[in-house]
Amino acid sequence: MLSKPLNSLIIEAYKHKRKRSLRGVDAILSRRQLLDAVAAEIIVCRKCELWITRKNPVPGEGSANSRIMFIGEAPGYWEDVKGKPFVGAAGKFFDTLLAEIGFSRENVFTGNILKCRPPRNREPLPDEIQKCTPYLDSQIRVIQPKYIVTLGNYSTGYIFSKVTLPFYGITRAHGKLYETSILGTQITVFPTFHPAAALYSGKYKELLQQDFQLLKNRLTDQKFKV
Ligand code: URA
C-alpha cells in the first residue's frame, strides 16, 4: 500500500503535472497506476460494514484516460458476484444507451457512489456515502474528466452537493448540462435517471433515451472525442 494518504499523492501528482516523482521514487505514476492504487485501497477498505456482507468490491472500470465518467449508485447482485459495475439487467440497458451515443464500456469510465453492495440492494446510508465517496473523489482527480454523467438520485445528489448546486431530485435535474468545477477541474455534469428505472417503467426508458440523445448532440456539437 502507498505510505501517504492516497488523495494527497494524487493531488501532488497532478499539481506538478506528473513531472515530479512521488515518494522520492523515480517513477511517474500513470493515470492507470493511480486508479489501480485507488482500487487497491478499496479492496482492503473496512471503513463501513458493507465489506462484511459483500462478495467482491466494485471499484469501477474503464479507460483511465476517458474524458467522460458515468456514476451510478452501488453494486447490485451481479456486480457483487463479478466485481464489475453495471453487469446485471440495468447494465445491459446501460450498454444499449452507450452504444446509441457511440461509446462502449472500454472508452468510458464507469463507477459508483458505493463500492460495495448494500445487503438486499437497499439504498445507501448517509454514513456509507460519507465514508466511501473519498474513493470516487480520488477517481475524479485522477481521470479529470470533461463530463460526468450521474445516473440517478444518489450520484446526482452527491455531485451537486460538492459544487453547492441545490438538488431537488433527479426528475427536476435530469437532461440539463451544469458547467462547474469539481476538485479543481472544469467539468460539465449531466444528470439522468438510473438505468434500472427503465426496467420498471417505459416512461423512464424513453426519458433516458432522450437524455442520452441530448448528450450525444452536445458531444457532437463540441466534436468531443473520448
Ligand atoms: N446499479 C448501480 O447503480 N451500479 C451498478 O454498478 C449496478 C447497478
Q: What is the 3-state secondary structure (H, E, C) of 184-210?
A: CEEEEEEEECCCCHHHHCHHHHHHHHH
Could you tell me the pTM of the whole model?
Answer: 0.91
**Ligand 1 atom showing the smallest separation from residue 154 Cα:** 3
Helices (H) and strands (E) in the chain, counts: 10, 6
| Residue 186 placed within a domain | yes
Residue 21 has pLDDT above 60, yes or no: no
Structure confidence by residue, pLDDT tens digits, 22-74: 444 445 789 999 999 999 999 999 999 999 999 999 999 999 999 999 999 99
Domain span at residue 179 reads: 6-221
Give the CATH number of the domain where residue 195 resides.
Answer: 3.40.470.10
Q: What does the DSSP 8-state code read for residue 122?
A: P
- Grid cell, residue 9, equals 499523492
Structure confidence by residue, pLDDT tens digits, 80-137: 999 999 999 999 999 999 999 999 999 999 999 999 999 999 999 999 999 999 999 9
| Residue 226 placed within a domain | no
The one-letter amino acid code at 18 reads: R
Among 73, 109, 153, residue to substitute to test ligand 1 (most atoms within 8 Å of Cβ): 73
State the total domains in the chain: 1
79 lines ligand 1 (CB under 6 A): yes
| Residue 1 placed within a domain | no
